[in-house]
Amino acid sequence: MGDIKAEPFAFPAIPEALALIVIDMQRDFVEPGGFGASLGNDVSRIMKIVPDVKRLIEGFRSANLPVIHTMECHKPDLSDLPPAKRDRGNPSLRIGDEGPMGRILISGERGTEILSELAPIDGEVVIEKPGKGAFYATEFGEVLKAKGIRQLVFAGVTTEVCVQTTMREANDRGYECLLAEEATESYFPEFKAAAIAMIRAQGAIVGWTAHVDDILEGIV
Ligand code: TIU
């Protein structure tokens, strides 16, 4: 392992410091009847990245590098759901309401699960987060510190909401962040393109971006 071909310049991968962070690949964002659909979004766009996310997960597992999953979800009693979040977006179903896949974005419900194709395996950390960013009100920062992880490769959804929020939180905490372009998606193609452009602008001001093939080639 060494440099990974990336934009705006090569990403200096360090094997003992690198981990894959898979953000919120949950049924609620991908399948009809979930939270993403309740906000009026075309969720079919998201399903198309599943094979690339899967390739990336399998590559990290084969290279014996950590894979950490996150889930956006709330406690059944909604004690970690600020009214400002519940009231937002004028959705047909609000967080905590009963939908076709159980209660929307609630821990333990069917719709809140990670897609079965991308399910965590034994030993992989799963971070349940009430916010868009993975550091807020979670053990994520402590887990990274305990494992000596300082470089984060990001996959998951949505690019400009939970992925970008977490990348920005990580960047400010001193982590080097690399976004896998084909393994992330937005409900809005123009937002994905803008997020990728702004992350790597100004000399990687928030981080790097790279193609999945180049990341997989770089981690062997
Ligand atoms: N709505 C949207 O684009 N995203 C979210 O609400 N959460 C995540 O990005 N996971």
pLDDT tens per residue across span 73-131: 999 999 999 999 999 887 888 999 999 999 999 999 999 999 999 999 999 999 999 99
Measured CA to CA, the distance from residue 35 to residue 62 in angstroms comes to 33
Is the CB of residue 23 less than 8 Å from the CB of residue 70? yes
The strand pair at 125-129 and 151-157 is best described as unpaired
* pLDDT for the residue 91: 81
Q: Confirm whether 73 is a catalytic residue.
A: no
Measured CA to CA, the distance from residue 207 to residue 49 in angstroms comes to 21
**How far does the centroid of ligand 1 lie from the alpha carbon of residue 14, in Å?**
30
Query: What residue ranges of the chain have pLDDT lower than 50?
Result: none
* pLDDT for the residue 88: 87
Residue from 49, 69, 132 to probe ligand 1 pocket by mutation (most atoms less than 8 Å from CB): 132
Is the CB of residue 167 less than 8 Å from the CB of residue 206? yes
Task: Give the pTM.
Answer: 0.98
123 burial level (CB within 10 Å; 0-12, 13-18, 19+): exposed
ipTM over 0.95: yes
What is the number of the ligand 1 atom nearest to the C-alpha of 72? 10
Q: Confirm whether 24 is a catalytic residue.
A: yes
Smallest CA separation from ligand 1 atom 8, residue: 162
What is the number of the ligand 1 atom nearest to the C-alpha of 36? 1
Report the mean per-residue pLDDT for the chain: 97
169 lines ligand 1 (CB under 6 A): no
Please give the distance of CA 155 from its chain centroid, rounded to a whole number: 5
Smallest CA separation from ligand 1 atom 7, residue: 162
* pLDDT for the residue 25: 98
25 lines ligand 1 (CB under 6 A): no
* pLDDT for the residue 107: 98
161 lines ligand 1 (CB under 6 A): yes
